[in-house]
Amino acid sequence: MFAYNCTSCHGPGIGNPGNEFKPGTDALRVKYNGDVPALLTERTDLTPDAVAYFVRNGISIMPFFRKTEISDADLAALGAYLNRNSAGR
């Protein structure tokens, strides 16, 4: 689910021509200025609720995803995946 829907913006590697980073990775790199990793897959502070909020509502250039695109069950799996590095949250 993450690879299919999210890595185009939140993955590692170079972004669009002329951009060193992918757009989501770059936006979070600038936003947090190194306080947390720019890659979502390396974060340790993402709760499933927070992931669900951003996926269902979008933010800035990030689109929201409908239930026909990402079902509630898939969203729960995404939340668990991005929360896997977090100890006890």
Instruction: Count Cβ neighbours within 10 Å for each residue of 49-63 and write b for 16 or more, e otherwise.
Output: eebbeebeeeeeebe
**Residue 75, C-beta contacts closer than 8 angstroms, at least 6 positions apart:** 51, 52, 55, 56
Q: Quote the least distance from Cβ 34 to ligand HEC, whole Å.
A: 13
Q: Quote the least distance from Cβ 47 to ligand HEC, whole Å.
A: 9
Q: Quote the least distance from Cβ 83 to ligand HEC, whole Å.
A: 10
Q: Which residues bind ligand HEC (CB under 6 A)?
A: 5-6, 8-10, 23-24, 27-28, 31, 40, 46, 50-51, 54-55, 59-63, 65, 70, 78
